[in-house]
Amino acid sequence: MSCPVAPKLDFGGTTPYEDYVHASVLHSLQKQASDDPREMSFLVITQVMELYFGLLCFEWRQAQIELRDDDLRAAVRTLRRSELHMQALNAAWRPIARMTPAEFNSFRDALGEGSGFQSGRYRELEFLLGEKSRSMLVPHRAVPRQHDALEALLHEPGLYDDVLAALARHGLAVPKEVLDRDVSAPYEPHPEVEAMWAGIYRSDDRDLLELGEALTDVAEEFTRWRHDHLLATRRAMGAKTGTGGSAGVAWLEKRAVRSIFPELWTARSYV
């Protein structure tokens, strides 16, 4: 009878885990600007959110590659995976949302003019979802590499643009003016695209139906992200001016009502 092999314990100054994950680097990035212990929770959660922003951008770019290859099933799998990432991202609001105004104020001044509004990865995420706006490049001018990357992305098709192009190649009636639109502008709903999605939902084409549902799930989770952000901010600071000088809750309320992939929602009224 063979004896169980003990795990290797000595790796000579490092470990394969450290070499792969770079955990020591990650744990060196939390630098409090105040003495309040609650700030560490806020700082770590914010950094986790940033990592998820980057992961979601990676996944949606992968979905774009698969859509351009007309591999709709692979794109659906990628979108479904990103939905799970978004659920984890949204859960990160819970500890922040439980802070009382006094607890948040105890370290708020340490943020200075810092705000999630200035996140380049979050802006990339919005652009990929079709929330394009040239004015939203302004906060990133101070970081030229970030600004240039976002300006390039402004002129590239978003995820939904690639979806509609793939559906057109699949033989569906996507209007030419939608396919040839200025992709640097925010996406505007079109009645013929709405009718196309209604037709998909009335059909028995499982691949197209699954694509529609995967996109709807992404849109729903992103809407939930915005709503949870709004509630966490309202609970922690009421109607005060935002940390970056924005209108705070009023700004978030305006953003929260915007629809992602709009025809996927309105088409359901005609099925």
Known binding-site residues for substrate equal 108, 243
Local structure of 106: helix, strand or coil: helix
Tokens matching residue 192: 């013929």
- Output the CA angle 26-21-148, nearest 5 degrees: 65
Q: Which residues are annotated as a binding site for heme?
A: 229
Q: How far apart (Å, rounded) are the C-alpha atoms in residues 151 and 127?
A: 10
C-alpha 123/C-alpha 105 separation (Å) is 26
For residue 246, what is the DSSP state? Answer: S
Question: ∠ at Cα 263 (262, 269), nearest 5°?
Answer: 115
Residue length of the chain: 271
Annotated binding-site residue numbers? 108, 229, 243
